[in-house]
Amino acid sequence: MTERMFDRELHEECGVFGVFNIHDAAELTYYGLHALQHRGQEGAGIVVSDETRLLGVKNEGNVRFVFPENVLKKLTGQHAIGHVRYSTTGGGGLLNVQPFLFRHGSGDFALCHNGNIVNSKQLKNRLERNGSIFQSSSDSEILAHLIQRETRKDRLDAIKEALIYLEGAFAFLLLTKDKLYAMRDKHGLRPLSIGKFNGGYVIASETCALDAVGATFIKDVQPGEIVIIDKHGITYDSYTPDTEEKICAMEYIYFSRPDSDLLGLNVHRSRKACGRILAKEAPVEADIVIGVPDSSLSAASGYAEASGIPYEMGLIKNKYSGRTFIEPSQALREKGVKMKLAPVRSVIAGQRVILIDDSIVRGTTSMKIVSMLKDMGAKEVHMRIASPPIIAPCFYGVDTSTIEELISATNSIEALRQLIGADSLAFLSMDGLSEALGHRSFCHACFTKEYPTHLYDDIKEANKDGKF
């Protein structure tokens, strides 16, 4: 097991959670963020309002670490926003942990964000030339500066005007002393859902967080929509008529929790459908079907169901591996110290195994698992991937890496099979993925290079020669 494999688990995106008009808003936000912890463990923060002031706490680490009871108790108020973070554009460090709290004569506000702005460099340069001073390297601060340029306007008009400048993926929450705003980019690349709870409102990156706090789902925030919640209730507005639904396919394939519903489609069901369709597209004779825990188990069960080959628990995940653990030295690694995944010998030995994973990024995971299964005595290992080959990087906040690290970008399927050491290898087709996602319109740029937004020259440059 390599460091990369150990590392990858932690590399996810961000999650946002907001509360309006609910007693102990910070406590509810804590539970909401806890349900979104899979979206980022590098940092967490909450800003709360009691209608007279905004007060925030944030730090590096996971939600439980950042918010022990004594810290949470100090955050009194009935409105709140919170964030869990995995760094995308900004890099690590406390300065980049959100929400950001801005003090200003025109009224304080706090802001947090999930996604990635693709024209951030251009906007930042322009704002700096006009006198803005940035505290962090995060994209989210750009929106605050754009809003503040418009101080003469009504706050909602200022937000609308600012959003028009942003290109890319975003789900933003903005909290003032007495209002909560939620907005989604015009392609709706990142998910954001609204719920109702005890006379108040809850907004979350995924519906699993609404369920976790007992809120009732109302609706998904629409692409290009701004939701405004205040003492009069909830109203909906939009900042552009130029919208097109393009939710990120990887949210279904890998990121989101299986119990979340994205645009009305349950994540577990979509993964199971990917597995079922894959079984039809790429059948193979074998004795058992196993999945790589946790994100591939739904697809594995779908493959098993459709193929009639028994589903088995062939790999066990150690729930307690994480960054705080000491990694085995190279010598121990070579001896086979498996910190995170362990094959079940009595299930695997002597069997022809179909191994399902949800995706291949750099290929490290597949190589290691195939060799572990063979070491345990698997007779054959047939690798089946429940998504198409990832051939292009993501610029919208998902860590799918640069093009030269993407193993499917530089290898044919047969070359990849040999590298991985599997007896056969097949991927889900694009048509199969589309069928599994109910033929909705979604972003599939990392499989097809068809990016839904304009890409800026500095991004292409950073990704080596603009080869993608």
Q: Which residues bind ligand SF4 (CB under 6 A)?
A: 189, 248-250, 394, 396, 398, 400, 443-446
Q: How many of the other CB atoms lie within 10 Å of CB of 77?
A: 23
| 295 sits near ligand AMP (criterion: CB under 6 A) | yes
- Which neighbouring-strand residues pair with 47? 56, 81
- Find the shortest distance in angstroms from Cβ 311 to ligand SF4: 28
Q: Which CB sits closer to ligand AMP, 98 or 296? A: 296
Q: Which CB sits closer to ligand AMP, 19 or 297? A: 297
Q: What is the DSSP letter of 412?
A: -
Q: Which does 446 bind (CB under 5 to 8 A by kind): ligand AMP, ligand SF4, none?
A: ligand SF4
Q: Which CB sits closer to ligand SF4, 80 or 250? A: 250
Q: Tell me which amino acid residue 184 is.
A: R
Terminal Cα-to-Cα distance of the chain (whole angstroms): 30
Q: Which does 295 bind (CB under 5 to 8 A by kind): ligand AMP, ligand SF4, none?
A: ligand AMP
- Give me the 392-411 binding string for ligand AMP, x by CB under 6 A, dash otherwise: ------xxx-----------
- Find the shortest distance in angstroms from Cβ 357 to ligand AMP: 5
Q: Which does 189 bind (CB under 5 to 8 A by kind): ligand SF4, ligand AMP, none?
A: ligand SF4
Q: How many of the other CB atoms lie within 10 Å of CB of 24?
A: 17
Q: How many of the other CB atoms lie within 10 Å of CB of 398?
A: 26
Distance of alpha carbon 244 from alpha carbon 219, whole angstroms: 17
Q: Which CB sits closer to ligand SF4, 231 or 439? A: 439
| 362 sits near ligand AMP (criterion: CB under 6 A) | yes
Q: Which of 390, 377, 403, 386 is CA-nearest to residue 455?
A: 403
Number of amino acids touching ligand AMP (CB under 6 A): 20
Computed on alpha carbons and rounded to an integer, the radius of gyration of the chain in Å comes to: 23
- Find the shortest distance in angstroms from Cβ 100 to ligand SF4: 23
- Find the shortest distance in angstroms from Cβ 463 to ligand SF4: 12
Q: Binding to ligand AMP (CB under 6 A): which residues in 5-44? A: 5, 8, 11-12
Q: Which CB sits closer to ligand AMP, 286 or 361? A: 361
Q: Which does 468 bind (CB under 5 to 8 A by kind): ligand SF4, ligand AMP, none?
A: none
Q: Tell me which amino acid residue 125 is.
A: N
Q: Which does 363 bind (CB under 5 to 8 A by kind): ligand SF4, ligand AMP, none?
A: ligand AMP
| 361 sits near ligand AMP (criterion: CB under 6 A) | yes
3-state helix vs strand vs coil in the chain, percent to 5: 35, 25, 45
Residue of 14, 248, 443, 446 marked catalytic = 14
* CB 156, CB 183: distance < 8 Å: no
DSSP letter for each residue of 198-267: TTEEEEESSHHHHHHTTPEEEEEPPTTEEEEEETTEEEEEES-S-----EEHHIIIIIS-TT-EETTEEH
Q: Which does 263 bind (CB under 5 to 8 A by kind): ligand AMP, ligand SF4, none?
A: none
- Find the shortest distance in angstroms from Cβ 409 to ligand SF4: 13
Q: Which does 361 bind (CB under 5 to 8 A by kind): ligand AMP, ligand SF4, none?
A: ligand AMP
| 292 sits near ligand AMP (criterion: CB under 6 A) | yes
* CB 39, CB 12: distance < 8 Å: yes
Output 123-131 pairs: Cβ under 8 A, ≥24 positions apart.
Answer: 123/165, 123/166
Q: Which CB sits closer to ligand SF4, 215 or 394? A: 394
Q: Binding to ligand AMP (CB under 6 A): which residues in 192-221? A: none
Q: Answer yes or no: 394 catalytic.
A: no
Question: 159-195 in b/e burial notation, b at 16+ Cβ within 10 A?
Answer: bbebbebbbbbbbbbbbbbebbbbbbbbbbbbbbbbb
Q: What is the DSSP letter of 328?
A: P
Phi, psi of 101 (to 5 degrees): -115, 125
Q: Which of 129, 134, 132 is CA-nearest to residue 149?
A: 132
Q: Which CB sits closer to ligand SF4, 267 or 290? A: 267
Q: Which CB sits closer to ligand SF4, 21 or 400? A: 400
Q: Which does 167 bind (CB under 5 to 8 A by kind): ligand AMP, ligand SF4, none?
A: none
Taking the alpha carbons of 311, 315, 316, 317 in that order, is the dihedral positive or negative?
negative
Among 176-184, 346-354, 356-364, 450-458, which window interacts with ligand AMP (CB under 6 A)? Answer: 356-364
Residue 74's SS3 state is helix
Residues with catalytic function: 14
Residue numbers at the binding site for ligand AMP (CB under 6 A): 5, 8, 11-12, 254, 292, 295, 357-366, 398-400
